[in-house]
Amino acid sequence: MSYELAYRLWLRKDERFIISEGRARLLKLIKKYGSLARAADEMAMSYRHAWGVIKKIEESTGERIVVSERGGQEGGTSNLTPEGLRLLDQYESQKRVFDDQLRMMYKRPILAADGIILEENSIVLIKRGKDPHKGRYALPGGIVEYGEKIEDCVIREVREETGLETRILDLIGIYSDPSRDPRGHVISAVFHLFPVGGALRGGDDATDACLFPLNKIPDLAFDHREIIRDFMISRNEH
């Protein structure tokens, strides 16, 4: 069973409840259609109940929120007064600010670590067993777990995906383009690793682990071809 976070915002005046999402939606529909009856129908409530909600808002604010006119083929109209428009605008503006702050509070980049392992003129690549990019080759690596050092992460992920025990030689670079991973903003620290044990085999999220000659690298997932190119340029410069 999965759960999702929900919250409710409301405006109040002198400790009195004025408006929350339900009442705001009723006002928005009145503004949209110019009809209390149609707004009530869209919210699956009776006209009498909808009118009672408007009266409660007006009693709490001490202001006229909706003005209605009878008659005509359409049975009359209902519109928000200037006070009603201001109330709706204030609620929506403050809710928008809160929603933005909430998104910024919980929406953070994900930290990952990837490894480059060379054996003579070949590089270790894994075949991804899961989306995104299922079936394509990539550098071994993965997401840093909470409380884990990034250096420990890359060694662990390489072990799980390739069967190789490694030690870190150098940090190659940080790759942080927000569009580099379709799952979201994933920042990867890429390390040059040296194999010290184990046997090459696919494991965990990798269906295979192989050595590819550097001049015959297949189509790669994410921005891993760019990472390898940067590594080779840096290696040749030194």
77: exposed, middle or buried (C-beta count within 10 Å: 0-12, 13-18, 19+)?
middle
CA-closest candidate to residue 34, choices 5, 74, 88 = 74
- In the numeric block, the tokens 């040749």 are attached to 236
CA-closest candidate to residue 209, choices 143, 131, 123, 146 = 123
Pick the CATH number of 110-237 from 3.90.79.10, 3.90.1150.180, 3.20.20.70, 3.40.50.1100: 3.90.79.10
Report pLDDT digits (tens) over 3-45.
666 777 888 888 889 999 999 999 999 999 999 999 999 999 9
Q: Which sequence spans correspond to the domains of the chain? A: 10-106, 110-237
Element (H, E) at 206: strand 206-213
Two tokens, residue 218: 């297949």
Burial annotation 200-209 (CB, 10 A radius, 16+ → b, else e): bebbbbbebb
CA-closest candidate to residue 162, choices 141, 136, 188 = 141
Please state the pTM of the whole predicted model: 0.58
> pLDDT value at position 28?
92
DSSP structure class, residue 81? -
Report pLDDT digits (tens) over 198-228.
999 988 778 999 999 999 999 999 999 999 9
Bigger pLDDT: 95 vs 115: 115
Report pLDDT digits (tens) over 100-152.
777 666 678 889 999 999 998 999 999 998 888 999 999 999 999 889 999 99
Two tokens, residue 75: 């049975």
Polymer length in residues for the chain: 238
> pLDDT value at position 106?
67
Can you say how many angstroms the Cα of residue 235 is from the centroid of all Cα atoms in its chain?
36
Element (H, E) at 190: strand 186-198
10-106 and 110-237 share one fold? no
Rounded distance, CA 72 to CA 182, Å? 55
CA dist 201 to 56, 125, 126, 158, 190, Å?
69, 10, 9, 11, 21
Report pLDDT digits (tens) over 163-182.
999 999 999 999 999 999 99
Confidence of residue 99 (pLDDT cuts 50, 70, 90): confident
Report pLDDT digits (tens) over 53-76.
999 999 999 999 999 887 644 457
Rounded mean pLDDT, 85-108: 82
Element (H, E) at 66: strand 66-69
At 64, the amino acid letter reads R
CATH numeric code, 10-106: 1.10.10.10
Rounded distance, CA 62 to CA 20, Å? 17
Alpha helices, DSSP H, located in 78-223: 82-106, 150-162
